[in-house]
A and B are shown apart, each in its own frame.
Chain A
Amino acid sequence: MLKVLKAGFYTTVQDAGRFHYRNKGVPISGVMDEMSVFKVNSLLENESAAAVLEITMTGPTLIFEEETYMALGGAEMSATLNNLPIQNYKVYQIEVGDILSFGRLEKGFRSYLGVKEGFTTKEVLGSKSFYRPITKVNRLMDNDVVPYSAQNLFQPKISEIKVASFLDDSILEVSKAPEFDVLNDKQLEDIFSKTFTVAHENNRMAYQLTETITEHSISMLTSATIPGTVQLTPAGKLIILMKDGQTTGGYPRAVQLTDKAICILAQKRGGDTISFKLV
C-alpha cells in the first residue's frame, strides 16, 4: 500500500480511461497528460494503461508500505525521496517506509507518480480512474491508502531518460470541429490571432479562457463532445472540454485540440497564456 500522510491539493488515481459508456453520459476520464504518463510507464516497463497518481499543483506526502520501483513525470514539483531531491523520468528503487514528498511547483501543473506494475485500486466500469459518482471518491484524502503489488526484482533496461519538455509550450494545435464552418470570419480571426489566458475556472472537466471573442446566436441541437473540444458560448466565451468533460453539449464546437495539445493544456494553470494554431 501507498499511504497518504498529507493529501495535497488534488490527487487522483487515473489510468487510460473509461471507455464504451459515453453513450450513457459517462466521461472517459483518465490521465490528463498522456504523453508524460506514457514515458513514466515505459520507464517502469508497465503497460501504457497502468494506473498512476495524478498530482495537481500541490503534491501530497506519501509513505510506501511495500517495496517497489517508482518514477515521476509531468510537472516539476521539487519532489524529494526521504528528503533528498529526485528528478523526473528516472527509476528509483523503493524500500518499505520510504517517504515521497513534494515542494514548490516549478513548472507545469500536473505531476504523475508511477510504480512498477501500476496501482491496483478497484476498477469500476472498466477503469480505475476516479470520477464521482462512478467511483465513490473523487480525490485522495489524508490517511487514504492506494494498493500496489510488492516488487523487488526489476532490472530496468533504461533507468532514466532526458525528455524534450513541452511544459513551456503555449501553442495548441487544433483541427476543425463540426461547427467550424458556421463561424464568421471575425470569430475565426479572433480565435487564431488572440492570445488567451487560462481562467481560474479550470479543472479535469474543462478549462475556461478569460478573453472572449465575438458573440453569436448559433443555435444547435445537443450533440456529442470529446476531450479537447473547444466550445463557443453565445457570449463569446471559449470552453475547452477535458478528460472528465461532459459527453454531449449544446454549444457550437469551434475547433478540436490534437492529443498533444490536450497534454500541453493539462500542464497549464490559471493565468498562463495559450494560443491556437490550425493544422
Chain B
Amino acid sequence: MSSPKIHIKSFGVHSVLIEWPNEVSEHILEKILHFETFLKNELLTNQEWEMVPSYNSLLLINRTAQIDFPIISKDIIAWYAQLGESTKPNRYLWRLPINYDLEYGLDIEEVASKLNKTIEEIIAMHTGSTYTVYGIGFLPGFMYLGGIDKKLEVPRKATPRPKVIKGAVGIAGKQAGIYPQESPGGWNIIGNCSVPIFDATKENPCFVSVGDKIEFYQISRAEHNLHKIEAEVGIYKPEKIKINA
C-alpha cells in the first residue's frame, strides 16, 4: 500500500507535529509507528529527542534545542519518502484478565439493561474483541482503545464518579479502557483488571505501547485476588504474544 500523505505543523520552538489523514485507521497507525522507529533508529538518535504517537499524529520534541521549522519540515518530508522497508517496531498482543463480578462491575447491570442484553452477553462482547492501543495519555498508562463491539456502545454516565478505583475497566461510546490508578471518571465501570497497567517502580513503567493490541478474558474472583498478590510481589506477568508482520 502507498504511504498516506503527511502534513507538518509548527508547535512552539521545541517541537513539531506530523499529521496523517484525520481518521482512526490501523494502516495509518502502522505508518506512524514505522516512521517513529525509523526516526529514532536512523535520524533523531540524540537523547534530547522524545516522540509521542497518538491516533493520526506524531509529535517530535527536542528538550533543549530550538527547531528551525522550515528546515525540519523539508527534512521530514524527505525522510518519510525514504521510509521504505526499514526496520518496523515490535508490536505485541496483551491478554488481560478481568473480573466482572458486580462488586467490581458497578455499572454492568445498568449497561446490560440499557442495551437490552444479559450480563453474560455484555461480558462476551467485551472479551470478544481485539482492541488497538491508539494512544496513551490523560493519566500515566491510560490507554485509548479502539475496536469496541458496536453493540456494546453505551453513553458515558450522566454524572461522573468522584472516585474510580485502580484497575477499573470502563466503556463509554466508542471508547474502552482501564483506569491505571484511582481517579475521577465518567465511564461505565464493568469490571476490574488485576494486572497493574502502570508501575512507577519499574524501569519500563508501562508494558503497553501505542500500537499494541489488547484482549480481555474473564477470571474468577479467586484468580483475581491471586493475581493481585502476585502483581504486588512482582511475579505476575501478563500474557504477551508478538504480532509483528
A248–B50 contact, CB under 8 A?
no
A25 to B59, CA, bound (A): 13
Partner of A133 from B15, B55, B135, B200 at Cβ < 8 Å = B200
Assess whether B173 is interfacial by the CB under 8 Å rule. Answer: no
Contact check, B205 vs A253: say whether CB atoms are below 8 A apart.
Answer: no
In the complex the two chains form, is A125's CB within 8 Å of B205's CB? yes
Contact A133/B61 with A21-B205, A221-B56 known, Cβ cut-off 8 Å: no
Q: A23: shortest Cβ distance to chain B, in Å?
A: 5
Task: Evaluate whether A223 and B140 lie within 8 angstroms (CB atoms) in the complex, with A176-B10, A178-B9 already known.
Answer: no
B13 interface contact, C-beta 8 A: yes
Residues of B within 8 A of A9 (CB): none
B171 interface residue (CB < 8 Å to A): no
Q: Mark A210-243, 1 if CB is under 8 A from B, else 0.
A: 0000000000111110101100000000000000
Question: What is the distance, in angstroms, from B103's C-beta to the closest C-beta of chain A?
Answer: 23
Asked whether A256 is an interface residue with its Cβ less than 8 Å from the other chain, the reply is yes
Contacts of A24 in B (CB 8 A): 136, 140-141, 198, 205-206, 209
Expressed in whole angstroms, the minimum distance between the Cβ of A17 and any Cβ of chain B is 8
Taken residue by residue from 9 to 25, chain A's Cβ proximity to chain B (1 for < 8 Å, 0 otherwise) reads as: 00000000001111111
Residue contact A177 to B55, C-beta cutoff 8 Å: no
| A124 interface residue per 8 A CB criterion | yes
The binding surface of chain B is classed by DSSP as loop
A244-260: CB near B (< 8 Å → 1, else 0) gives: 00111100010011110
Q: Is A80 an interface residue (CB 8 A)?
A: no
Provide the bound-state CA to CA distance between A20 and B135, in Å: 16
The answer to whether B141 and A25 have CB atoms under 8 Å apart is yes
B52 within 8 Å of A by Cβ? yes
Question: Is A58 in the interface zone, CB < 8 Å from B?
Answer: no
CA distance A178 to B52 in the complex (A): 15
Q: Which of B11, B50, B140, B200 contacts A256 (CB 8 A)?
A: B11
A258→B10 CA distance, assembly (Å): 13
Q: Cβ of B200 and Cβ of A25 under 8 Å apart?
A: no
Q: Is the CB of B50 within 8 A of A22?
A: yes
State the interface size on chain A (CB cutoff 8 A): 35
Q: Check A221/B55 contact, CB under 8 A, given A23-B210, A256-B12.
A: yes
Q: A24-B205, A25-B206, A222-B137 are in contact. Are A253 and B11 (CB under 8 A)?
A: yes
A222 in contact with B55 (CB, 8 Å): yes
Chain A 168-182: CB-based contact to B (< 8 A → 1; otherwise 0) = 000000011110000
Shortest beta-carbon distance from A191 to chain B in Å: 16
Minimum CB–CB distance from A137 to chain B (whole Å) comes to 13
Using CB atoms, name the residue of chain A closest to B201: A124
Instruction: Please give, as numbers and ranges, the residues of chain A lying within 8 Å of B109 by CB-CB distance.
Output: none
Q: For the complex, give the distance between the alpha carbons of A247 and B51 in Å.
A: 11
Q: Which of B17, B61, B144, B201 contacts A222 (CB 8 A)?
A: B144
- Does B241 lie at the interface of the complex (its beta carbon under 8 Å from any beta carbon of A)? no
Looking at the assembled complex, report how far the CB atom of B186 sits from the nearest CB atom of chain A, in whole angstroms: 14
CB–CB B200/A224 < 8 A = no
A-B contact sample (5 more), CB < 8 A, given A23-B50, A25-B137: A25-B136, A224-B52, A224-B54, A229-B12, A248-B144
Footprint of A on B, CB under 8 Å? Answer: 9-15, 17, 19, 22, 24, 50-57, 59, 61, 63, 134-142, 144, 180-181, 198, 200-201, 205-206, 209-210
